[in-house]
Amino acid sequence: MTRGMGTTPPPSVSAATVTGLLSEIAGTGTDALRGGYTRPVYSTAELDLRHWFIEQVTKRGLTVETDRNGAIWAWWDVPGGDRSNSLVTGSHLDSVPGGGAFDGPLGVASALVAVDILKARLATPTRPLAVVVFPEEEGSRFGVACLGSRLMTGAIDPDKARNLRDPDGSTFADVARANGLDPRFIGRDDKLLGQIGAFVELHVEQGRGLIDLNQPIAIASSILGHGRWRLSVQGQGNHAGTTLMADRHDPMVSASRMVVAIRDTARNQAHARATVGRLQPVPGGTNVIASRVDFWLDVRHPDDAVTAAVVESIHAQAQVIAAEEGCRVELREESLSPTVHFDPGLQKELQRALPQAPVLDTGAGHDAGVLAPFVPTAMVFVRNPSGVSHSPEEHVVDDDAETGAETLADALQGLMA
């Protein structure tokens, strides 16, 4: 891997390493049941990670601010403090249930080490630099992915956000208020958006691209369009022992047939991906025929019109299945993100700084994808030798982790020139 800009100071100067920083949080939010990490936004685990981040950036002399939507911004200001045309990097600290150690935290830890490297190379930044941690990137608690960056860009209606509920029934407004935000003021932040000259997010690769290319680092070209829909299947709850098979209207059977139909529909559509990873029977008793089954559908495709057509076909099939089973089904869109192509100019700048890095698209959503329509945005991926993500198996080897941080520092320095 050739270095793009400058030479990295001897280890003694940038004492922190990505691996070392990640080891500091390795015990936070571990999930004994699922394995891996469960760090939903504003949970004790995620709050501990927020405190860790604030400690780290304070140690680096950065100015820490939390915005109206709960994102934490750590600024390395230029003399005089003008923040226009700033360079922003960072990622998220929340996780999916049973997630890996790197999805989110790798981007945050790499940004911290990149700041160390840049501080060793430059007395003061020629552009203001900020490290940001966005809340609820995974949407694991309130159901909408990238909730923090969607609020900041106005991509979600603040009222809809305030009324989002977590599995316990708490609203985002209540949880945000309990964590120091004023829910009346969540929403688009033109001032903050206007300050961002470029956003570069480093992230663990969540596929096999870099393994097959035998490269440690890639530059992102695009993010597959993706959405989430909730299907509620209404049947007749009843007793498992006294209800004859012929007399049943079992939503669990309907939902199960629908899940297989979803798989078949996606299999028959080139480049489509459809997933049901979460299913909730009500009431959920072993000896009870469910009265209702809710499940969530995740559909992705490079062409947004095809995503819509796949969902429409799934909905039509679900209605036929429900009717055959004497049930009813309702489908409701929960979030939708169009396919995003990153800023070509920024991508060229990164390619100049990282001449050997291949350019890859991704099927995973990111805050960078939400910001892309509003500010020049780019992403850098770090090799994941497991090729697996949203799972405890997700991995990054130490050398690649450090290469990622140095690459990020090179890229940021290139954008400072």
Between CA 336 and CA 89 the distance in angstroms is: 24
Residue 137 found at the interface with ligand HGY (CB under 6 A): yes
- The least distance separating ligand HGY from the CB of residue 164, rounded to whole angstroms, comes to 16
Task: Give 137 or 410: the residue with its C-beta nearer to ligand HGY.
Answer: 137
**Structure-derived torsion over alpha carbons of residues 221, 338, 195, 104, reported in degrees to the nearest 10:** -70
Which tokens sit at 270?
């080139």
Between CA 133 and CA 353 the distance in angstroms is: 25
Beta strands in 14-67 (DSSP E): 63-66
- The least distance separating Mn ion from the CB of residue 377, rounded to whole angstroms, comes to 15
How distant, in Å, are the alpha carbons of 152, 175, 214, 373 from that of 155? 8, 20, 37, 10
- The least distance separating Mn ion from the CB of residue 298, rounded to whole angstroms, comes to 12
Q: Which residue has the tokens 């941690």?
A: 133
Task: Give 233 or 378: the residue with its C-beta nearer to Mn ion.
Answer: 378
Q: What count of other Cβ atoms lies within 10 Å of the Cβ of residue 11?
A: 9
Task: Give 4 or 227: the residue with its C-beta nearer to ligand HGY.
Answer: 227
Q: Pairing between strand 217-223 and 359-362?
A: parallel
Looking at 145, 198, 259, 272, which residue binds ligand HGY (CB under 6 A)? 145
**Nearest in space to 365 (alpha carbons), one of 159, 156, 189, 136:** 136
Residue 136 found at the interface with ligand HGY (CB under 6 A): no
Total interface residues for ligand HGY by CB under 6 A: 5
The binder of 136, among ligand HGY, Mn ion, none, by C-beta within 5 to 8 A per type, is: none
Site for Mn ion in 94-113 (CB under 5 A): 103-104
Site stretch for ligand HGY (CB under 6 A), options 137-145, 149-157, 317-325, 392-400 = 137-145
Task: Give 231 or 364: the residue with its C-beta nearer to ligand HGY.
Answer: 364
Looking at 138, 189, 201, 402, which residue binds ligand HGY (CB under 6 A)? 138
Residues in the chain: 417
Query: Binding residues for ligand HGY, per CB under 6 A?
Result: 137-138, 145, 364-365
Query: Binding residues for Mn ion, per CB under 5 A?
Result: 103-104
